[in-house]
């Protein structure tokens, strides 16, 4: 999608047109009318990264697309704690909706942390740090010595219509500044890493078991499966695992639901509470690890390899299905 030219990152209007499902002429028209700097390379029109936000604002305006925000509850608006003031500001940023958890869901997480009093929280997928601040606020409120370890790729946030409309470069810097403003930096540690890398050598990152695992990273079946298999063995018995976006009907992701149906629902090793969420019912699952399940990893591997499943899905599979 981008091309590097003399160390400047440029976005191709052709790629943007596909990404936004908007005619390329409409993008070029906005660039020209609003006198945004454009560059022609081999007959292709590019725009500089610095101008990208201006382009988005102007383009959305010309297409009649407005920004969407979470409604901020009165109690949060009126709360004077630095973390609450910071969250209110973050909820007014254009990229926050809908990827960050809503105030209602965040408040649920905060209350859960206050009740469970975990020492080591591991968050997979913090985006810009909204959920991180809710979790850390819970720790702060009970005077816990605990830490939120938060892992994310921290790639630039690019709008993906119809839902994602805001643009942000360097989300790690934004998240760190927000945590500082919330006066919670002593409670949070960010890792710009792929969760796979962290899970593969977890002892380099954590010296104690996880007692609260919040999975809100890669929501595909494969991604969620990898996160669950990599991290649940490191959750202490009695510890909690929270999955976000468990209702594919509303959120469009199948990974968290797959984990619940396949490994949690009927297992005597886990307690499961599924909750509905506001303002959209993406849903959350609160899972308590009751005991170690030594067969889970093996069952997971068999599912993952899924040779039989893969054969069944191929034309040859039809032949096999008839014979066996």
Ligand X SMILES: C[S@@+](CC[C@H](N)C(=O)[O-])C[C@H]1O[C@@H](n2cnc3c(N)ncnc32)[C@H](O)[C@@H]1O
Of these, 54, 120, 195, 277, which contacts ligand X (CB under 6 A)?
Answer: 195
Nearest approach in angstroms of CB 142 to ligand X is 21
Could you say whether residue 283 binds ligand X (CB under 6 A)? no
Q: What is the dihedral of CA 225, 106, 270, 288, to 10 degrees?
A: 130
- Phi, then psi, of 293 in degrees rounded to 5: -120, 100
From the CB of 163, what's the least distance to ligand X, in Å?
Answer: 11
Site track 142-161 with ligand X (rule: CB under 6 A), x = hit: ---------xxx-x------
Nearest approach, Cβ of residue 313 and ligand X (Å): 25
Q: Give, as ranges, the residues between 1 and 30 that touch ligand X (CB under 6 A).
A: none
Binding residues among 106-125 for ligand X as defined by CB under 6 A: 124-125
Give the shortest CB-5-to-ligand X separation in angstroms.
26
| Residue number, 91 or 263, with CB nearest to ligand X | 91
Closest CA to 138 of 101, 187, 190, 75: 187
Query: In the complex, what is the shortest distance from the CB of residue 253 to ligand X, in angstroms, rounded to a whole number?
Result: 9
Six token digits for residue 293: 């399940």
Interface region with ligand X, contact rule CB under 6 A, candidates 158-166, 189-197, 273-281, 311-319: 189-197
Please work out the total of residues on this chain that contact ligand X, with binding judged by CB under 6 A. 20
Q: At what angle do helices 130-141 and 103-116 cross, to 10 degrees?
A: 40
Contact in structure between 200 and 158 (CB atoms under 8 Å): no
Among 55, 87, 122, 130, binds ligand X (CB under 6 A): 130
Note whether 126 binds ligand X by CB under 6 A: yes
- Residue 40, strand partner residues: 45
Least distance (Å) between residue 131 CB and ligand X: 3
Pairing of strands 147-152, 210-215: unpaired
Question: What x-and-dash track marks residues 61-100 binding ligand X by CB under 6 A?
Answer: --------------------------------------xx
Taking CB under 6 A as the criterion, which residues in 197-226 touch ligand X? 216-218, 223
137 near ligand X, rule: CB under 6 A: no
Q: 304 or 321: whose CB is closer to ligand X? A: 304
Among 86, 131, 267, 277, binds ligand X (CB under 6 A): 131
What residue is closest to ligand X based on CB? 125
Residues at the interface with ligand X (CB under 6 A): 99-101, 124-127, 130-131, 151-153, 155, 194-196, 216-218, 223
């Amino acid at each position: 999608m981008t091309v590097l030219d003399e160390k400047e990152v440029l976005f191709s209007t052709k790629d943007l047109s596909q990404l936004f499902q908007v005619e390329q002429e409409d993008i070029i028209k906005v660039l020209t009318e609003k006198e945004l700097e454009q560059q022609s390379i081999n007959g292709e029109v590019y725009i500089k990264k610095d101008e990208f936000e201006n382009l988005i604002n102007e383009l959305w305006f010309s297409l009649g697309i407005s920004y969407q925000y979470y409604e901020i509850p009165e109690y949060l608006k009126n709360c004077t704690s630095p973390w609450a003031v910071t969250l209110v500001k973050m909820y007014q940023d254009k990229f926050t909706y809908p990827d960050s958890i809503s105030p209602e869901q965040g408040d649920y997480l905060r209350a859960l942390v206050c009740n469970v009093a975990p020492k080591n929280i591991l968050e997979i997928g913090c985006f810009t740090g909204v959920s991180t601040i809710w979790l850390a606020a819970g720790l702060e409120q009970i005077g816990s010595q605990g830490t939120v370890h938060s892992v994310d790729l921290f790639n630039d946030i690019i709008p993906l219509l119809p839902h994602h409309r805001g643009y942000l470069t360097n989300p790690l810097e934004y998240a760190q500044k927000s945590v500082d403003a919330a006066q919670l930096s002593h409670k949070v540690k960010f890792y710009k890493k792929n969760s796979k890398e962290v899970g593969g050598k977890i002892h380099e990152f954590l010296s104690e078991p996880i007692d609260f695992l919040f999975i809100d990273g890669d929501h595909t079946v494969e991604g969620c499966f990898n996160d669950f298999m990599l991290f649940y063995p490191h959750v202490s018995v009695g510890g909690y695992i929270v999955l976000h976006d468990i209702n594919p009907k509303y959120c469009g992701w199948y990974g968290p639901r797959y984990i619940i149906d396949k490994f949690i629902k009927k297992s005597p090793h886990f307690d499961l509470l599924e909750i509905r969420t506001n303002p959209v019912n993406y849903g959350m699952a609160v899972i308590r690890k009751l005991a170690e399940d030594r067969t889970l990893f093996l069952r997971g591997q068999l599912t993952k390899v899924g040779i039989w499943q893969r054969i069944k899905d191929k034309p040859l599979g039809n032949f096999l299905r008839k014979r066996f």
